[in-house]
Structure 1
């Protein structure tokens, strides 16, 4: 049974120039524990679809269900991590992580204990009482990820979570995410422009078309993840899948794809 079910979803936006159809007839099923990445040209509606799964936007038509229930609003069963961290600058690392638990109604003593566990999990022990302005970009994103994970959502929704990081920090955070997801057994839906990232992290990569966005291709990712990063990314299996995804995205980004 699918944990996330997206059926015949459409979404339009109103602009001063009229209505713009962002998504058309989108259908996608994601199983419990699956890591799926959405890739496609800029403006194809990837983030719009993600926010609809999160309950922050409503489709004009079609249905989005999580665990068989219609998504009508945000919920603690789904945790969203943004590209720009969205930390509270007046709260410390520990307080930022504990915020989600406070919203979930967890007693203060318990939420601080849980927050401390997640500080250690994301490698920030010793920085508990620092403020966001005192942290690097990678450290801030670790806080954002820990804050979302702390209240134990079933589903992680990631919107270009590492897009603002330098390449070395981005790779470190990708490995951290894989480790955490394996230990916590989360279902993940991620939006990214980085094909390498999508293939490295995912069990399945879904390609969306130019606007109006719809799903035009899917690629299962069958690689040996017991190897190190270098071995994985140099392997024939990784490069074969990466090249297929890259060509599919390039085709959708090309003006000739609409002729």
Structure 2
């Protein structure tokens, strides 16, 4: 099912040298260009068709060839990419955050919060939020992460609300720490009445991920929220509880 498309973001008119270098490589690797966006990813921005493996390789090559890159240069690069004109530019920071471990650990979460507001559609959000941040990242700086995750769930920006759940999706499978589960259930409860598929599918996704370390809490939550949870979340989570699979 295609997700609804929205447009509410800003973009650069001037990009920095590192960004330009990456964009040139994106263009050279692209096998097809969609000027009006690619609806499947939920973005209205221009789309360069490139295999994910090639984008990952591009990221690793860039980081390896710039060993003296400073934290400030990394931040400036990400800020520029997050304001890029194309979908492909805006998903690149997710790979940089995933592979740039040292930079990720020194990231100012206020920057992350701002950048998330520049994303559109499920794929842009998930590329930054699904795999880059670990349970260790969050728990080692919980005093900053917990309020961020809560603020995101209250945001008027749907990309940030989705991010408040997707950021936790991997973390709750990596750790059984109660703090992660608590904020995950709090954010689910805050968002479970929403009807937009960007949220309903994510509620289901995180509930299913919570089963790994908090099965009994998930069972209890489903029972207590059977009248408010999205039907798809109830169906898919019950299926996962029964069979270990979503469907």
Structure with the bigger RCO (C-alpha within 8 Å, sep 6+) is 1
Which structure: greater strand fraction? 1
Scaled by the length of structure 2, what TM-score is found?
0.32
Which structure: greater helix fraction? 2
Scaled by the length of structure 1, what TM-score is found?
0.31
